[in-house]
Amino acid sequence: MTQYEVPTLTHVAKLAGVSENTVSRVIRNKGPIADETRSRVVKAIDTLGYVPNRAAGSLASSGSLLIGVLLPSLSNIVFPEVLQGIHAALATTAYQPMVGVTNYDANKEQDILSSLLAWQPAAVITTGFDHTDATRRMLSNSRVRVAELMDIDADPIDVAVGLSHRQAGYATGRHLIERGYRRFGYVGHDWVADRRARLRHEGLCQALSETGLALLAEERFDGPSSTMAGRDTLATLLAHAPDIDAVVFSNDDMAVGGFFHCLAAGIAVRDRLALFGFNGLDIGQVLPMPLSTVRSNRFLIGKTAVEKLLESPTRPEERVVVDTGFDIIEGETA
Amino acid sequence: MTQYEVPTLTHVAKLAGVSENTVSRVIRNKGPIADETRSRVVKAIDTLGYVPNRAAGSLASSGSLLIGVLLPSLSNIVFPEVLQGIHAALATTAYQPMVGVTNYDANKEQDILSSLLAWQPAAVITTGFDHTDATRRMLSNSRVRVAELMDIDADPIDVAVGLSHRQAGYATGRHLIERGYRRFGYVGHDWVADRRARLRHEGLCQALSETGLALLAEERFDGPSSTMAGRDTLATLLAHAPDIDAVVFSNDDMAVGGFFHCLAAGIAVRDRLALFGFNGLDIGQVLPMPLSTVRSNRFLIGKTAVEKLLESPTRPEERVVVDTGFDIIEGETA
DNA sequence: GCAAAATATGTTAGCGCTGAGATAACGAAT
DNA sequence: ATTCGTTATCTCAGCGCTAACATATTTTGC
């Protein structure tokens, strides 16, 4: 081996004076190996600084230790948190995640998926149920395990892990009604791309209508959710409907923005206007008044998905739905 | 091909009536191909739903279209933002990122790096200069390109992209001095793991001492930075040193927490106590008073790193340092 | 009209590893 | 002594693809 050649199994085998296959078995802890042989091989590996070539391994064994992960975005803190859960669950395994970002675009998801599948991953983790037909077909045809995250309000391809956003919206409505609020407004963001926000909205409306109530005003920002959008959109909403007593936001980012608007405009939060979010982000809980919201266990969703997927290398007969639930965080803003 | 067999180059070649190599050349757009042949091959690919096996490709060509990315954490929004920049720059290429999270642990970084190198990535992007000797050796021995992000206050292995944190700290000090503040406090987080926060602190102290000033009080939270930590730690600082007129925080998360403390405690921000952060996060800019801080272009850092790395497949003779700079954001809190 | 160049395609030998089966060495059971 | 089972190791084909080279086939220049 010259100085600049990368060592391979062959080099290790030669140095240890055994066959390549024996080295391979030592590395993978497979089959019986005499202690003496093992230590000789391990020493050779160390000496050469050998790192196995996984491309070769994956080719030979037709299967890799990769998990494909498709996330809609990284700018919404929610998804990095899911990713953290995924990483945490993978940390004790030999699997590696391979992350793609779709920007909420089903066609881009399809493209990235096909690049991911080219690596023969053991499983694919994706978000929600909005896939193109081609995506669905690719996932069905390849025999990889598939987890669809965040949402459980539809039938999964294989495993779904998340919470019922409709129920979360409903619970929000009930909570506010029980607290005595009656004149409701809604501040949202562009939900063409965000099915889950729409589901929460539906659940909310259902809770209201069951009590003979309805949203008196509604304002949706035409773009992704952000604190700034929440601040400005609440201002617009109040300009149109100054007499509402509670505002439900599409999520915490928007709600925190709403809180800042109230602060700047001198509106007494809760007493004059209740604010309610969704997600239970840290930032909402450190406001001078902790935000009333719904906790969606993002880390748990990521972690659970990995655990479910690794339970079995093949798809079970029955589709699996794991409800990671949600909790109302009472806070002080509603 | 039976129904459940995954199609390979061979299947495509047979169906199109050409050699495997021709199919391969069509896929990779390499070498001359007659239009008629190309369309026949493309049609066969579509018909079969063929997806190339990258493990095989990477093995045969000894080089993959992968970029290894090592980030210290995902809970600090800063790193997802860097990752966004990386993704953005990769979006127009055939490269895929493969992300590992080190939890600010150099040994974990070393482990993950060796798993990453097993995939023969074209390049590795990592954070900062704190690596183990073994990590450094692996990176030097493998001929992959290496980018070290965020920081440019040391000598890189190959490329460094980031900003001078010492200068940023210095600029912070100068700015506050020019604004007339004289009685300085500092609120930080655990910087054993955060070399860059320490460098900013050094720069700040230097600016102060050049003007015959010094930090009158300093309080460091023993843990990672967070809004809550910032709020509580500022409270502690002020209990010890009630007479300071400006506080520099280790970053925006901490500073936003500090702002909330002032809000709750009725302290007049800026007039009674100036607040200054670092990073220029969105959350700081939507506070009722926009946070005075330093913008660190995270997205640009990620994007630039990828661009630099893809300029050439081999390491240039000269180490490259790219300064993505920083700007003072004046804000209203200092 | 013919050599040289340009274009289009085929042939072949691996890349580094793993799986299946073969082989060897040795003790225990018949 | 022979058979059997166990343990430890080896041999070898081949995963799906690409690089290098070989082989047509066409075009171009003179």
Is B316 (CB) below 7 Å from strand C? Answer: no
Provide the terminal-to-terminal Cα distance of chain A, rounded to the nearest Å: 71
CB atoms within 10 A of CB A85: 25
3-state helix, strand, coil in chain B (%, to 5): 45, 20, 35
Token digits of residue A23: 């080295």
Q: What is the mean pLDDT of each run of 10 residues along chain B (334 residues)?
A: 72 93 93 91 92 94 91 91 94 90 92 92 93 89 90 94 97 97 96 90 97 96 94 96 96 96 94 97 93 97 96 89 96 95
CA dist B280 and B252 (Å) reads 7
B100 touches strand D (CB under 7 A): no
Closest protein residue to D18 using CA and C1' atoms?
B60
| Residues in chain A, overall count | 334
Total CB pairs under 8 A between chain A and B: 127
Residue spans of beta strands (DSSP E) within chain A: 66-71, 96-101, 123-127, 145-151, 159-163, 184-188, 215-220, 246-249, 274-276, 293-296, 320-323, 326-329
Residue B213's φ and ψ, nearest 5 degrees, are: -110, 175
| Residue A117 pLDDT greater than 80, yes or no | yes
| Partner-chain contact B118 A80, CB within 8 Å | no
**Whether B220 contacts B188, CB under 8 Å:** yes
Q: What is the pLDDT of residues A186-227, one digit of tens each?
A: 999 998 878 999 999 999 999 999 999 999 999 999 999 999
CA distances to A59, B134, B152 from B110, in Å: 25, 7, 21
Asked if residue A271 has pLDDT above 60, the reply is yes
Residues in A 80-139 with any Cβ partner in B closer than 8 A: 80-81, 83-84, 87, 94, 96-101, 114-120, 137-138
* Chain-chain contact of B53 with A59 (C-beta, under 8 angstroms): yes
Contact B55 A52 (CB under 8 A): no
State the Cα–Cα distance between residues B319 and B324, nearest whole angstrom: 16
Judged by C1' against the alpha carbon of B25, the nearest nucleotide is: D18
Minimal Cα distance from A6: which residue of B?
Answer: B142
> How far away is chain A from the Cα of B6, in angstroms, using its nearest Cα?
8
pLDDT, residue B140, reads 82
Among B157, B212, B161, B160, which Cα is nearest to B184's?
Answer: B212
Identify the CA nearest to B130 among candidates B97, B153, B100, B163.
B153
On whether the CB atoms of residues B226 and B232 are closer than 8 A, the answer is no
Among chain B residues, CA nearest to A290: B260
Contact predicate A298/A326, CB 8 Å: no
Q: With contacts defined as CB-CB under 8 Å, which chain B residues touch A97?
A: 98-99
User: pLDDT tens across B86-137, in order?
Assistant: 999 998 898 999 999 998 899 999 999 999 999 999 999 999 899 999 999 8
B61: the nucleotide nearest its CA (via C1') is D18
Task: Please compute the mean of the pLDDT values over residues A20-36 and round it to a whole number.
Answer: 91
Residues of A in contact with B110 (CB under 8 A): none
Which of A77, A114, A119 to mutate to test binding with chain B, by most B CBs within 10 Å of its CB? A119
What pLDDT does B194 receive?
A: 86
Which nucleotides of chain C does any protein CB come within 7 A of? 7-12, 14-20
Token pair listed for A12 = 């290790």
**Option in B79, B80, B115 nearest A96 (CB):** B115
Residue of A nearest to B119 (CA): A54
Instruction: Tell me the mean pLDDT in the region A222-236.
Output: 95
Among B50, B2, B7, B60, which Cα is nearest to B26's?
A: B50
CB within 8 Å: B286 and A101: no
Q: What are phi and psi of A204, to 5 degrees?
A: -60, -50
CA distance A235 to B332: 21
Inter-CA distances, A181 with A176, A246, A334, Å = 6, 6, 9
Of A residues 51-70, those with CB within 7 angstroms of nucleic strand D are 56, 59-60, 62
CA dist., res. B129 & res. B325, Å (int): 18
Q: Name chain A contacts of B55, Cβ cutoff 8 Å.
A: 54-56, 58-59, 64, 119-120
Map residue B101 onto helix, strand or coil: strand
Percent of chain A exceeding pLDDT 70 equals: 99
Nearest of A40, A99, A28 to residue B118 by alpha carbon: A28
Residue A97: φ, ψ to 5°: -85, 150
pLDDT for A75: 86
For residue A3, give the chain B residue with the closest CA: B141
Q: CA-based angle A210:A213:A219, to the nearest 5? A: 120
Question: How confident is the model at residue A239, as a pLDDT?
Answer: 96
Contact of B149 with B313, CB cutoff 8 Å: no
Question: Residue A238 to residues A154, B16, B34, B125: CA-CA distances in angstroms?
Answer: 35, 64, 65, 47
Cβ contact (<8 Å) for B53 and A118? Answer: yes
A227 φ/ψ angles, rounded to the nearest 5 degrees: -65, -40
- The burial class, CB within 10 Å (0-12 / 13-18 / 19+), for A179 is middle
Domains of chain A by range and CATH?
9-52 (1.10.260.40), 63-164+298-327 (3.40.50.2300), 165-295 (3.40.50.2300)
The pLDDT-based confidence of A4 (bands split at 50, 70, 90) is low
- Chain A from 151 to 210: CB within 8 A of any B CB: none
A79-100 pLDDT, tens digit each: 999 999 999 999 889 899 999 9
Q: Check residue A259 and give its pLDDT.
A: 96
For residue B77, give the nearest of A126, A113, A227 by alpha carbon. Answer: A227
pLDDT at A143: 81
Strand D and B22 CB separated by under 7 Å: no
A227 reaches B (C-beta below 8 A): yes
